[in-house]
A and B are shown apart, each in its own frame.
Chain A
């Protein structure tokens, strides 16, 4: 019991600390604004005021919410926090509302989210991932707000709305913060050095393995440090045969007829590469984790990395400090003329809490969030490529906001969207996905590299059996 007590205390302590940290942050930004840079803030507030004076129609979009409060919570990196806080302040300026915000890093977010969910104390608006099916009861569908125009979707295509729609019942679970695609980034200089051709749009896993081996032989380092194991595995399943998907699009079942062939193929290929030192070992995988800025590629030691396209901005920024220029590449395919296995999906979304008493205000905020050009000039697609065509074209027109790196991301998302098999929506992640994903990596990939399983076939069979077992628990 001591254990539970200590855990409870640690949790409480961590929460208190993070709250204190956030509170301190908020207070310090506010005080610095009110004292050090009063002039600046006046200028900043003058700008939107002027634009609204020019277009009085817009002013009615933002009602007076003085005295009201709204709470928001999100996860992300420091860049994201800075930008989001600026946008929140802009909204406070426009409506007179007082917004309480809390931000956490990705892993702490879900712990905090669950604790708040258990206590019925979730904020009015929260960031949600593609795992929304797991938290379905906490989400208020936006259909009515979209139908009555509170959230204006005139510049948002149906395909984009579909990325956050529950295919099973049509509920719109949130407003996407932008689209992204899982992809590879590579350092052309290292490819040149090792005499390996650059990845093409339809390069194959064999070419990938070949490139890895040549690069590792040349540099002595892993050619690629981290992989998102479940993503490469599931996308191989998609590539294997038309109509295959690891999870069905509506998240209601598996969708590959229990065919373990693609699993055996990719698990064997990747663990061989790891054993040969071409892929970073489990320690390296774990050290870097989701902290893309710490990846070896940013320091010129690794040639490739797997990431989400919106992370390319942050990664390129760090790499540029070492004089490294990176490019984006698609996933390798099973066959050059086969399926791409790529998907353009919603990176994350903002959702309204089903227990919120301020749903109307929250909906108004979401409208501002997705449609305001000014706000998105600050956010600048850090969370993903904006789903509003008007916002996106305004950003693209501004060369200061759309630098070379951002342009590469836009072009890449366009390219992936044009692949015939890249559906413009992401499958809903079933509740069992998280546990299946961890079992795949921690038990079966790691077991295969450590010799617990004698063959990829044995590991793949074990995984498929366990995945079905886990599924039954949810």
Chain B
């Protein structure tokens, strides 16, 4: 037996479950190493360097990080990003849950509706949608015209540092499709008996929602919340295309700040440091959400 094991033929080796698994996963593993792991390691290294594209990197220790926390533009970008996440993420989740609940009402056209509502997410991150929103909320767009018709002369979303983020948040909320689908599948898994039992006990729709739907859905809410938090922190396209961070840095989110430092001013080391700070903040926020989740997430199989 022992001898036979050592002399595995190539054919046998190739047919092992593990080998097959790795071969099939190879495209991802290679991609992950080449496009994520190596760039990550490099960016960690560069974050301690003064590095201009095209010039050799020079080790400067923690100077980039110290500089970042003295940079009022960076601190402001952290502030507006957090503001965006705090307003944008709950809005999107509520919206997604609402639509998901409407769509789980069994109708014949359910599949069609779902597909239609999912389309914005497919095209959502694209430049084209950002351009459409730019027109829609722009100074000559229908929305501003309607607001002006109601008497607000000179009003313009993107011209005001208080209002500029609103269209961006709405654009994000509009791309609720993937969260909606996840919610919808979660809703389907809630046993019907719960609702029937509640009805017999005389619970109304609101009570059913609060005491059955929300607790049963809490693992899914946690998942969606985490995904949206992460994507919220990484918001880039809309800000870059629609407002370019303006006015008065009101929509200069961290990713846009990093992009500008890295690509507009060729300050790669500094940009890398900023993205690591961002990573740490995101990890911390995600960690906190995980920690608190024990108190509000309900798992059925827990006893």
Tell which of B245, B259, B266 touches A7, judged by Cβ atoms closer than 8 Å.
Answer: B259
Give the interface SS of chain A, mostly helix, strand, loop or mixed.
helix
* Chain A residues with CB below 8 A from B124, complex form: none
Contact of B158 with A by CB under 8 A = yes
The reply to whether B247 and A4 form a contact with Cβ atoms under 8 Å apart is: no
The reply to whether B243 and A3 form a contact with Cβ atoms under 8 Å apart is: no
Contact with B along A255-281 (1 / 0, CB 8 A): 000000000000000000000010011
The reply to whether B39 and A283 form a contact with Cβ atoms under 8 Å apart is: no
Tell which of A9, A137, A452, A473 touches B35, judged by Cβ atoms closer than 8 Å.
Answer: A9
The reply to whether B259 and A283 form a contact with Cβ atoms under 8 Å apart is: no
Contact of B230 with A by CB under 8 A = yes
The reply to whether B248 and A442 form a contact with Cβ atoms under 8 Å apart is: yes
Q: How large is the interface on B (under 10, 10 to 19, 20 to 34, 35 or more residues)?
A: 35 or more
* A-B residue pairs in contact (CB < 8 Å), sample of 27: A1-B40, A1-B43, A1-B279, A2-B230, A3-B234, A3-B278, A4-B40, A5-B39, A6-B236, A7-B236, A7-B258, A9-B35, A110-B263, A280-B139, A281-B154, A282-B248, A283-B139, A283-B160, A284-B156, A287-B134, A287-B158, A435-B264, A438-B264, A442-B245, A442-B246, A443-B73, A450-B247
Q: How far is the CA of A311 from the CA of B236 in the complex (A)?
A: 30
Q: How far is the CA of A10 from the CA of B255 in the complex (A)?
A: 12
The reply to whether B53 and A284 form a contact with Cβ atoms under 8 Å apart is: no
Given contacts A3-B275, A111-B263, A442-B245, contact A284 B159 (CB under 8 A): yes
Contact with A along B241-260 (1 / 0, CB 8 A): 00111111100101100111
Return the chain A residue nearest B53 by Cβ: A118
Give the interface SS of chain B, mostly helix, strand, loop or mixed.
helix
The reply to whether A450 and B248 form a contact with Cβ atoms under 8 Å apart is: yes
Nearest Cβ in chain A — how far from B106, in angstroms?
37
Tell which of A1, A10, A283, A435 touches B275, judged by Cβ atoms closer than 8 Å.
Answer: A1
Contact of B58 with A by CB under 8 A = no
The reply to whether A10 and B236 form a contact with Cβ atoms under 8 Å apart is: yes
* Chain B residues with CB below 8 A from A435, complex form: 264-265
Contact of A286 with B by CB under 8 A = yes
Nearest Cβ in chain B — how far from A13, in angstroms?
10
Contact of A117 with B by CB under 8 A = yes
* Chain A residues with CB below 8 A from B156, complex form: 281, 283-284
Within 8 A of B (CB), among A1-38: 1-10
Given contacts A3-B255, A6-B234, A114-B53, contact A286 B275 (CB under 8 A): no
* Chain A residues with CB below 8 A from B230, complex form: 2
* Chain B residues with CB below 8 A from A443, complex form: 73, 248-249
Contact with A along B122-156 (1 / 0, CB 8 A): 00000000000010001100000000000000101
Within 8 A of A (CB), among B18-41: 35-36, 39-40
* Chain B residues with CB below 8 A from A473, complex form: 267
Contact of B54 with A by CB under 8 A = yes
Identify the interface centre among A111, A117, A281, A289: most chain B CB within 10 Å of its CB.
A281
The reply to whether A3 and B233 form a contact with Cβ atoms under 8 Å apart is: yes
Q: How far is the CA of A134 from the CA of B237 in the complex (A)?
A: 27
The reply to whether A282 and B159 form a contact with Cβ atoms under 8 Å apart is: yes
* Chain B residues with CB below 8 A from A96, complex form: none
Within 8 A of A (CB), among B218-238: 230, 233-234, 236-237
Q: Contacts A4-B40, A5-B39, A281-B160 given; 20 further ones with Cβ under 8 A?
A: A1-B40, A1-B275, A1-B276, A2-B234, A2-B282, A3-B233, A4-B39, A4-B275, A6-B234, A7-B255, A114-B53, A114-B263, A117-B54, A137-B55, A283-B157, A283-B243, A283-B247, A284-B156, A442-B249, A446-B249
Return the chain A residue nearest B264 by Cβ: A434
Q: How far is the CA of A161 from the CA of B73 in the complex (A)?
A: 40
* Chain B residues with CB below 8 A from A282, complex form: 158-159, 246-248
Tell which of B73, B154, B157, B279 touches A2, judged by Cβ atoms closer than 8 Å.
Answer: B279
Nearest Cβ in chain A — how far from B76, in angstroms?
10
